[in-house]
Homo-oligomer: A and B are copies of this chain.
Amino acid sequence: MKPQQKSAYHHGDLKEALVEATREIIESEGLDQFTMRESARRAGVSHGAPAHHFGDKTGLLTELAVQSFEARVAQSEAYMAEAGDDPMARLRACGLAHIDYTIRHPRLHELCSRPDMTNRDDPHLQAVITRMSEMLIATMSEVAGHELKPEKEANPETLLALVVVHGFAALVNDGMILADVPDAERPARARVLAEGVMGLLEKAFRAPRE
Q: Are B159 and A177 in contact (CB under 8 A)?
A: yes
Interface flags, A178-210, vs B, CB<8A=1, else 0: 100000000000000100110111011001000
Q: Are A196 and B156 in contact (CB under 8 A)?
A: yes
- Besides A159-B177, A163-B168, A203-B204, 15 more A-B contacts (Cβ < 8 Å) are A32-B117, A115-B175, A152-B176, A153-B178, A156-B199, A157-B200, A159-B193, A160-B164, A163-B167, A163-B197, A164-B164, A164-B167, A166-B171, A167-B167, A204-B204
Question: What is the bound-complex CA distance between A112 and B198, given in angstroms?
Answer: 28
User: A183 → chain B, closest Cβ, in Å?
Assistant: 14
Question: What is the bound-complex CA distance between A193 and B158, given in angstroms?
Answer: 12
Chain A interface residue count, CB cutoff 8 Å, equals 36
- A contacts, CB < 8 Å to B: 30-32, 113, 115-117, 152-153, 156-157, 159-160, 162-168, 170-171, 174-178, 193, 196-197, 199-201, 203-204, 207
